[in-house]
Structure 1
Amino acid sequence: MTTHEPDFRFTQPGTLIAALPAVLGFVPEQSLVLVSLERGEMGAVMRVDLPKVLDGDLSHLAELASASGADTVVAVIVDAEGAACPMCNQDYRDLCDDLTSALSAHGMDLYAGHVVDRVEAGGRWHCVDGCGAFGAVEDPMASPLAAAAVLDGRRLYRRRADLQAVIEVVDEKRSAAMVPVISERSDARGVDWRADPDGCGRRDVEAAMALSARVCDGEEPNDIELAGLACALTDVNVRDTLYALAVGAEAARAEALWALLARTVPEPWRIEALVLLAFSAYARGDGPLAGLSLEAALRSDPQHRMACMLDTALQSGMRPEQIRELAGTGYRLAKRLGVRLPPRRAYGRRAV
């Protein structure tokens, strides 16, 4: 996962570590977190499971770091047990040595390596190389980035598993039972589409917006309604029009609907909901949710065109304002279909 926070200036390790939950969207545990520095400011941030990198190849991680355009990286090793184990420091030093070699192949330097037991107020960090530096982690909830995340409507999760719950299928039996329902709705929609393609698309988009308003009000759509939306998303004109909702005044409503759909319908229909959710999250600057949604979508369909494009953009650190430009296609399609979309929302200066 790659995110950007160029407005945050690096000062001390305790401050930097405290900022990680707001950037990642959750509190990292058993993790290696790489923070690239761009002229002293926090740039791209990447996290991987610590067990995967202790004995693994770091070349891909270094390649992702280099895509950010920065030339300096800080490594933060989060390990509750290892931080209190003097013998583990050699493993950390070996890891940082390997990381230094991998980064140097891309013209980058490892500025510092820190080990921390827990990313919360009172957590303790120390340097990897035995320099003797150590200190306490500041309160993550008091971080300026945490405040910015809350103002942007982002939720900070206690664990990565809590973030995953946003998109995981809740009821496998219900999901499987929806397959014949979706097939039936698809057949009925096919008849309508052949009679009037634009009219069918217009009704689908309007139905999706109405359904998102009901979901936002706390209503639970029935399986027939969700099945109808799922098969409507297989229509490229409907799907591409709905991408525009991500930059509209009612973007939160649409995002809630995509998350509900992702948790409810079976594959392959679930994939389109995941990608719509990813685009919406990315557009508002929520890199963690966007990355997780794309990961799930690409696991099911590695060749999905939009998912691949968004994943490449996210991994390379493309800014949300650049991604929002893709919504213009949706507004043009809506005009052709005769659909009135919510007006575009105004964005402040905010980057992932």
Structure 2
Amino acid sequence: MWSSDADSPLRVGTEGLLTALPVLIGFRPRESLVLVATGGPGGGRVGLTVRVDLPPPDDPALLESLCESVAGAIARDSPSGAAVVVVGGDGATGGGGGEAGVGGRGGGWPPRMDVAAAAVAALHRAGVGVHSAVWAAAIEAGAPWCCYPLHDCGCGGRLPDPSGTVVAATAVARGTVVRQSREDLVQLVEPAEEDHHARTGRAGPSGAGGGTGRPAGAGAAESGAAGPAESGAGGGPGAVDGAADGSGVRGRPRWPSDPVHVLDAALESAAAGRLTVDAELVRIMSAALRRTRFRDLALSTCTGDHAAAAEQLWAALARTCRGPAAADPAVLLAVCALARGDGALANIALERAERVRPAHRLARDLRTAMAAGWGPTEVRTWLEGAL
């Protein structure tokens, strides 16, 4: 039920869909509700995938609002059906113990039946049929999983190692980077020494992986198009390599005076895996990004031949810049990520921008676009028309 491209589908069952979740959203989900849209000629091709943190079991109003929001996002993808997946929730009330519920046997229900039932009902109200409703204790080798008693199929078992599946191997071959947790993604855009109290935590209700309580599609959900992500050169997006002389590029006494030439030099350095973000680069880029023509030039780097290097540059600047100046590179990073189908990274980058400059217009526009189900095709079409 997952395909790397139109000509070479990889057919998997429910267990395969569970182990494919890290590929679909960019990291291994924990304590999450994940909705997966399916469609295509046979109804089994993966479309939009949306993840939010599990709400607390004692807040039915939040649960209903959350499920309505994520179901609405899935419905905008016009799927022929959807899968509902609950990951974790073992410590919450609302279902039987994990071991007792494996395979629907042993006298217990899987945990967080309240979440699964609310998500199924919300999808039905949105006009989307549900073909699978599944619980997994975790997305890791040996974790128990089973179907909720939706179709009384009794399916269940223990997951194989998600990194050892055909889907994972195909994704790695295509350059997809799968991280162990959402926190690994956050480290790409957040300063390591940032004050703990300045952060909102993981996005979503009480976390798109606690804290903001915003509805999905307005910053609370992570979504990703079903497709491979490109890995950046030099160790992935935001890789920074220090130059011995403290300059912007090894061997250069200083950055050029023209910001356009600085951008070219920084992209060249990032592509070679030797980018250094120093105070001078931050000063030049922060000033230049306040000008419309330069912002348009910067947007043009988010797709095409320079996209991988640009993603590294914008991630490094989003980490290094302080205050409102971090918003522009963070939004550019979000555009890069969304253009290659990495909705999780796009969401995290937008959170950074929104936190330091809440009124950033392009950040608001991207939020709206993500809520409407935009993926790589829509972003590339928009950039072609806007530049």
| Same structural fold, with TM-score higher than 0.5 when normalized by the shorter chain | yes
User: Larger relative CO (CA 8 A, sep 6+): 1 or 2?
Assistant: 1
Category of TM-score, reference length = shorter chain: 0.7 to 0.9
Alpha-carbon distance in structure 2 between the residues aligned to 1:167 and 1:317: 23
Residue 129 of structure 2 corresponds to 109
- State the Cα distance separating 1:300 from its structure 2 match: 3.9
Residue 136 of structure 1 corresponds to 158
- State the Cα distance separating 1:329 from its structure 2 match: 6.1
Alpha-carbon distance in structure 2 between the residues aligned to 1:324 and 1:153: 20
TM-score (norm 1): 0.76
Alpha-carbon distance in structure 2 between the residues aligned to 1:213 and 1:243: 16
- Segments of structure 1 that go 5 or more residues without pairing to the other structure are 174-201, 333-352
* Secondary structure of 2:127 counterpart: coil
Q: 1:69 aligns with which of 71, 78, 82?
A: 78
Residue 120 of structure 1 corresponds to 140
Does residue 282 (structure 1) correspond to residue 302 (structure 2)? The answer is no
* Secondary structure of 2:261 counterpart: helix
Residue 299 of structure 2 corresponds to 243
TM-score (norm 2): 0.70
Contact 2:144 2:156 in 1 (8 A): yes
Moved more, 28-37 or 95-104: 95-104
Contact 1:84 1:117 in 2 (8 A): no
Q: 1:162 aligns with which of 164, 184, 189?
A: 184
One-letter code of the match for 2:86?
Answer: I
- State the Cα distance separating 1:10 from its structure 2 match: 5.9
Indicate the percent of aligned positions where both proteins have the same amino acid. Answer: 31
- State the Cα distance separating 1:246 from its structure 2 match: 1.8
- State the Cα distance separating 1:48 from its structure 2 match: 0.9
- State the Cα distance separating 1:107 from its structure 2 match: 1.2
RMSD of Structure 2 on Structure 1 (CA): 2.9
Q: 1:210 aligns with which of 246, 252, 265?
A: 265
- State the Cα distance separating 1:277 from its structure 2 match: 0.6
Residue 188 of structure 1 corresponds to none
Alpha-carbon distance in structure 1 between the residues aligned to 2:108 and 2:58: 11
Deviations 1:320-343 (A, max 9, x none): 13312344368x6xxxxxxxxxxx
Contact 2:22 2:29 in 1 (8 A): yes
- State the Cα distance separating 1:131 from its structure 2 match: 4.2
CA 1:221/1:132 → structure 2, altered by over 3 Å: closer, same or farther? closer
- State the Cα distance separating 1:142 from its structure 2 match: 3.6
Contact 2:135 2:147 in 1 (8 A): yes
* Secondary structure of 1:23 counterpart: helix
Deviations 1:124-181 (A, max 9, x none): 21112164221232432244443444344332101111111111112349xxxxxxxx
Q: 2:361 aligns with which of 276, 280, 305?
A: 305
> How many residue pairs were aligned?
301
Does residue 60 (structure 1) correspond to residue 115 (structure 2)? The answer is no
Contact 2:84 2:133 in 1 (8 A): yes
One-letter code of the match for 2:129?
Answer: D
Contact 2:330 2:353 in 1 (8 A): yes
Alpha-carbon distance in structure 1 between the residues aligned to 2:37 and 2:155: 20
